Amino acid sequence: MEISLLKALLGNISSFLNLSSFENINSEPVQKFYQRAEEILKLLKPILSAVIDSEITSDKVLGNAFEGLSLSIEELREQFESWQPLLSKVYFVSY
């Protein structure tokens, strides 16, 4: 597995965790979902750092999983950045 892929994943996690001060995160429904994702990523980040430090040998399946996770975190960050407070209220009423 490429170390650069893991470093990119860690970078995406850090970018997501920096959203806590973002204005859109302050609405109640958004904050609930953000906090859930934040808890998971805070647990995952030290594990990924340990994998980088241990220089685990290449594993294609694991690499593909990390690549998919990285893309998902990036998409999640983009959704939180563009979340509109009015839309979230409509979404949660209809959901």
Give domain limits for the chain. 3-94
| Whole-model pTM over 0.85 | no
> Could you give the 3-state DSSP secondary structure of residue 26?
helix
Q: Which residues of the chain have pLDDT under 50?
A: 94-95
> Which tokens sit at 60?
């294609």
pLDDT score for 33: 83
Q: Contact 42/91 with Cβ under 8 angstroms?
A: no
Cα(36)–Cα(10) distance, integer angstroms:
18
Instruction: Report the C-alpha gap between 39 and 59 in whole angstroms.
Output: 27
Alpha helices in 1-95 (DSSP H): 3-17, 28-54, 60-81, 85-94
